[in-house]
C-alpha cells in the first residue's frame, strides 16, 4: 500500500543501534572535558543578615559610620563598591563625592542637604542618586541607616 511506513521489528531496531553503527571516533577514547569551563562559578554572593550583623567602622566625630561590605575585583574596569552607612544624632558630616553613588535608606531617618540648599528629611524606603562632585551634609535627629553602591574601588572614600 502506498504511503505506509515500513514495519519495524525488534531485530531491525537492535541492528540500527548496535555499537558497529557508532563512528570509531567515539569508541574507546577518553572524554576530554575542561572542568574550568564546565564548572561555573556562582553568579552572586550572599551576605546573610548584613544589615544587622555587619559592624560598620566609625568615620568621624564618633557618630558617623561607613563600611564597604563587598566590591568588584581589584583592577575591574568599572569598579563598584557596596556597603552600609550610619549617622547617629550629633555632629553633621559634610562629604564631597569623587564618584557616582546610589543610597537607599533602610531604617531611621537622615537629613540630607546639598551645597545648593536642597534639603530632604529622608526616611526608610527613600532612594537617592548622588552624582560625582556633589557635596552633601548628612545628619540625623536620632539615627539612620542606609545601603549604598558607589562607582569606586573598595575603601576609596
Query: Domains along the chain?
Result: 57-150 (2.60.120.10)
Spatial contact of 120 and 79, defined as CB atoms under 8 Å apart? no
Is residue 84 pLDDT above 70, yes or no? yes
Could you tell me which of 112, 69, 68 has the C-alpha nearest to residue 87? 112
State mean pLDDT over 115-133: 97
pLDDT in tens, 17-38: 555 555 555 555 555 655 555 5
46 has pLDDT over 90:
no
**What are the phi and psi torsion angles at 15 (to 5°)?**
-65, -40
Q: Which has the closest alpha carbon to 84: 106, 62, 100, 63?
A: 106
Residues across the chain: 157
Percentage of the chain with pLDDT > 70?
74
The secondary structure of residue 31, as a DSSP letter, is -
Highest mean pLDDT among 43-52, 58-67, 100-109: 100-109
**Measured distance CA(101)–CA(140) in Å, rounded:** 20
CA dist., res. 95 & res. 114, Å (int): 10
Q: State the DSSP string of 9-58.
A: -HHHHHHHTSGGGS-GGGTT------HHHHSPPPS----TTHHHH--PPE
How many C-beta neighbours within 10 Å does residue 30 have?
5
Tell me the C-alpha distance between 75 and 103, whole Å. Answer: 24
What local confidence, expressed as pLDDT, does residue 6 receive? 56
In this structure, of 8-22, 102-116, 124-138, the range with the lowest mean pLDDT score is 8-22
Report the alpha-carbon distance of residue 69 to residue 78 in Å, rounded: 17
Q: How far does CA 11 lie from the centroid of its chain?
A: 58
pTM listed for this prediction: 0.71
Higher-confidence residue: 1 or 52?
52
Burial of 96 (0-12, 13-18, 19+ CB in 10 A): exposed
pLDDT number for residue 2? 57
Amino acid at each position: 500500500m502506498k504511503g505506509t511506513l515500513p514495519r519495524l521489528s525488534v531485530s531491525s531496531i537492535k541492528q540500527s543501534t548496535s555499537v558497529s553503527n557508532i563512528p570509531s571516533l567515539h569508541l574507546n577514547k577518553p572524554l576530554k572535558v575542561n572542568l574550568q569551563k564546565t564548572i561555573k562559578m556562582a553568579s552572586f554572593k550572599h551576605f546573610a543578615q548584613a544589615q544587622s550583623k555587619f559592624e560598620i567602622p566609625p568615620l568621624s566625630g564618633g557618630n558617623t559610620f561607613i563600611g564597604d561590605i563587598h566590591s568588584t575585583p581589584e583592577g575591574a574596569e568599572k569598579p563598584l563598591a557596596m556597603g552600609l552607612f550610619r549617622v547617629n544624632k550629633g555632629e553633621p558630616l559634610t562629604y564631597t563625592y569623587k564618584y557616582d553613588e546610589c543610597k537607599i535608606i533602610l531604617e531611621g531617618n537622615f537629613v540630607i542637604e546639598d551645597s545648593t540648599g536642597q534639603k530632604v528629611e529622608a526616611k526608610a524606603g527613600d532612594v537617592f542618586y548622588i552624582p560625582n562632585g556633589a557635596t552633601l551634609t548628612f545628619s540625623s535627629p536620632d539615627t539612620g541607616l542606609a545601603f549604598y553602591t558607589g562607582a569606586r574601588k573598595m575603601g576609596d572614600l
